[in-house]
Structure 1
Amino acid sequence: MIIGIFLMVTFFTASLVLIYLSIKSKKEMERKKNECTEIAKGTVETIRKIGDSENNDNYYPTFAFFDGNCIVQEESKIGYSKGVWKKGDLVQIRFNANKTSDFWVESDSIPAWVWLISIGIGFAAIGALGILLCYFTTKY
């Protein structure tokens, strides 16, 4: 019973954190779409690996693009899984003309906030199932 309550609280807390992060991520993406109006073709120059094992590694690509005045090289603030980007990949970049470090890469992938909210809802469902199990095991 105590373990069930602990798991239920843990899953609900995790779901709230994930839903909060998804809302924050979505707002940041909307901000970037509004402020990053310039378009440039770019390439992946380098990829930096951060992590302690094959399963926990994140890969941070450095993108190079021409902003109209000079070539800009900026490392992504988003870590990707292995194989998403390769050196030399061509990308389309949208950037803020006033601050070239504020950019995003157009891609066909699903935005991070969609994954976060999906996992958060899943955790909330597991937490709700935990509530039902606790209720029925104590009642009957």
Structure 2
Amino acid sequence: MDLLTGIVLMVAFFVAAIVLIYLAVRSKRELERKRVDCTEAASGTVEKVRRISVSGESCNYYPTFAFFDGNHIVQEESKIGYARDIWKKGDKVQIKFNANDPSDFFIVHESIPTWVWLISIGIGFAVISVFGAVICYFAAKY
């Protein structure tokens, strides 16, 4: 691999790191906002799961949740697509929703938040880009 290719790869990894870290911060802020705004609790069920092929055999799964907000039954499809089919029709879920806008909700579960994964991968890309910079420096010097 020549020096120019190394520099291009290093810059690409650095840009990817910055984008992933930005998305992680944005995701964390949205989760914090939802925890403040979505104070009402309800039991809900998974009504259906829509499967969308992304590329080849890769798919995203979008569950539709139904819950009673105190006045009527709310049915909303998740804005988050899951890489695995973790939700099945009929699954019971705990939901926190915004009393002023029941379509603003989140599912209470024990999984690691998305922002943790994004920031971890972003930091990994940053480390790779720093490592690439060191290699490029020594390749240019010697």
Matches within 5 A, 1:1-140: 1-53=3-55, 55-140=57-142
Q: Distance in 2 between matches of 1:91 and 1:61?
A: 11
Q: Distance in 1 between matches of 2:130 and 2:18?
A: 13
- Give 2:130's aligned amino acid: A
Q: Distance in 1 between matches of 2:56 and 2:73?
A: 33
TM-score (norm 1): 0.97
Shift of 1:55: 4.0
Shift of 1:50: 1.5
Q: Provide the secondary structure at the position in 2 that maps to 1:28.
A: helix
Identity %: 64
Q: Provide the secondary structure at the position in 1 that maps to 2:140.
A: helix
Shift of 1:81: 1.9
Shift of 1:82: 2.4
Q: Distance in 2 between matches of 1:14 and 1:56?
A: 22
- Give 1:125's aligned amino acid: V
Q: Distance in 1 between matches of 2:41 and 2:33?
A: 16
Give structure 2 stretches of 5+ with no counterpart: none
Shift of 1:41: 0.3
Q: 2:54, 2:60 within 8 Å by CA — same for their partners in 1?
A: no
- Give 1:127's aligned amino acid: S
TM-score (norm 2): 0.95
Deviations 1:61-93 (A, max 9, x none): 000001011111000000012221111111000
- Give 2:72's aligned amino acid: C
Q: Distance in 2 between matches of 1:59 and 1:24?
A: 22
Give structure 1 stretches of 5+ with no counterpart: none
- Give 1:2's aligned amino acid: L
